[in-house]
Homo-oligomer: A and B are copies of this chain.
Amino acid sequence: MPQAVDDFLSKNAARYEDELCELLRIPSVSADSKFKADVRRAAEWVAGQFRNLGLTTEVCETAGHPIVYAEHCRAPGAPTVLVYGHYDVQPPDPLDLWTTPPFEPTRRDGNLYARGATDDKGQMFTHVKSVEAWIKTVGKLPVNVKYLIEGEEEVGSEHLDGFIRDNAAKLKCDVCVISDTSQFGPGSPAITYGLRGISYFELKLQGPDRDLHSGVFGGAVANPANALAKMLAALIDDEGRVQVPGFYDDVAPLSDRERKQFADLAYDEAEFMQAIGVDALRGETGFTNIERRWARPTCDVNGLTSGYQGEGAKTVLPAKASAKFSFRLVPKQDPEKLKSSLQQFLLQRCPTGIKMELIAYHGAPGVVVPLESPYMSAAVRAVEHGFGRKPVFIREGGSIPVVSTFHDLLGVDTLLLGWGLNDDNTHSPNEKFHLADFHRGIKSSAALWEELGKLKH
């Protein structure tokens, strides 16, 4: 990489942080309609960055939050890279657990604390600043770059697939890049080659038409909260295996090679437990902790609501009870097949006197990216340049549905280059991004343009 680019990055590091703070101050919570104007403000802010660099830039309307598209395609013969990221963030609740307010970015112990710091404003922004460094020094990029930055990632990317389908020609590329994952650990950069899919549901039960006195009616009427507990309890057995019929039918077994590769990673289980404050781990029998998180499907309840939730005691037999819960899927499992099997499974267990409604939210299949490709090799060299250390290959338990979409609609694989850390508190209070990793990410990204530029189109 040209020394001038590296020098520019060093000289402008403080400004990059300040600019990221500007973006983090915008509460672009896509899930909550009262932040709608802020979500748009974040989109415009990101578009402004691209425009200032002279990129062709559009803020594209959708039926939901807008998508920012930008491109800089002035390297004929070189590959075209599509960078995906998102400018929306998770809701910050519970607010009282934040040490400093979620939308007042604060530096502390080498970290930047704010909602969205790592997921995904901070990580996405590394690919903007890396382009700036090339343009301001060399005058152009050694590759063609396109950006697709959406505002609905945290609410299921409802309008993204349609946009990609409608704009497939414009989005045509050779490889995609996403930074929305984590390193394997501090000082251990990683390239993520596998992700789990997801199917997210809400189960709503209705018993009597209003809350009843539990003394007068208790014992004679099906209680939706009791029924909910029974139905949810039936989903997983004591060995951690999901009980919905057919659930494991299409699950690809873990290969011996992959199991060994996972086992060889420097991983300290005691440290893992300490980091999340538990004194024991628990999951599907017959698999290691890493295997369970990266390569095995599972089911977690995400939320429960029913009856009296205030202080003290209230003797109510609740009219309603509901749960949000989701399955993590591995490659080959079909979210649609699961949905209909689940509906049956729950209906069979819904007691008389209770009406049930099952709402299916977003679903996405799991994905595995091939390790043997020139793009992957280029990414390895770029990350090594940025972090001073060869990345390890890992999978992740989370889902990035767009990776499947890119594969299916654009016919390309995605490089998942994660600059985050596992304890970054994404989706939790006190989300943070390690500032040194922010700068290493920018440097890796700048090197990636060089490495990809060396490849023939």
Contacts and interface: CB of A to CB of B under 8 A. Distances in A.
Contacts of A308: 302-303, 324
A431 to B, nearest CB: 11
Interface stretch (A160-168, A183-191, A281-289, A336-344): A281-289
Pick from A215, A225, A232, A305 the residue with the most CB of B within 10 Å.
A215
Contacts of A397: 215-220
Interface in A179-221: 182, 196, 198, 200, 202, 207-221
Interface in A393-413: 396-399
Contacts of A220: 281-283, 289, 292-293, 397
A297 B440 CA distance: 64
Nearest to A288: B220
A303 B351 CA distance: 19
Interface stretch (A14-22, A248-256, A312-320): A312-320
Contact of A303 (B276, B281, B293, B314): B314
A218 B281 contact: no
A218 B293 contact: yes
Nearest to A429: B210
A456 B196 CA distance: 82
A442 interface: no
B215 A398 contact: yes
A304 B307 CA distance: 7
Residue of A219, A240, A313 with highest tally of chain B CB at under 10 A: A219
B200 A276 contact: no
A314 B324 contact: yes
A356 B233 CA distance: 17
Interface stretch (A72-80, A133-141, A381-389, A419-427): A419-427
Given A210-B429, A214-B300, A427-B314, A219 B292 contact: yes
Contacts of A302: 214, 225, 307-308, 313-318
Contact of A219 (B32, B276, B298, B321): B298
B215 A328 contact: yes
A48 interface: no
B296 A155 contact: no
A277 interface: yes
Nearest to A274: B209
Contacts of A31: 310-312, 314
Contacts of A422: 216
A49 to B, nearest CB: 27
A156 B278 CA distance: 35
Given A226-B301, A229-B232, A232-B226, A210 B326 contact: no
A230 interface: yes
A222 interface: yes
Nearest to A355: B279
Contact of A236 (B32, B226, B280, B307): B226
Contacts of A243: none
A432 B223 CA distance: 24
B277 A209 contact: yes
A152 to B, nearest CB: 11
Contacts of A315: 198, 200, 302, 326, 398, 427
A282 B222 contact: yes
A232 B313 CA distance: 17
A229 B228 CA distance: 8
A278 B222 contact: yes
Contacts of A309: 303-305, 324
A130 interface: no
Contacts of A100: none
B208 A277 contact: yes
B304 A317 contact: no
Q: Could you say which of A97, A277, A303 has the most chain B C-beta atoms within 10 Å of its C-beta? A: A303
The 3 A-B pairs with the shortest beta carbon distances in the complex, nearest first, are A209-B277, A215-B398, A219-B298
7 contacts: A155-B312, A211-B427, A212-B276, A220-B293, A228-B304, A229-B323, A316-B428
Given A226-B236, A304-B307, A315-B326, 4 more contacts: A217-B397, A220-B397, A229-B233, A302-B318
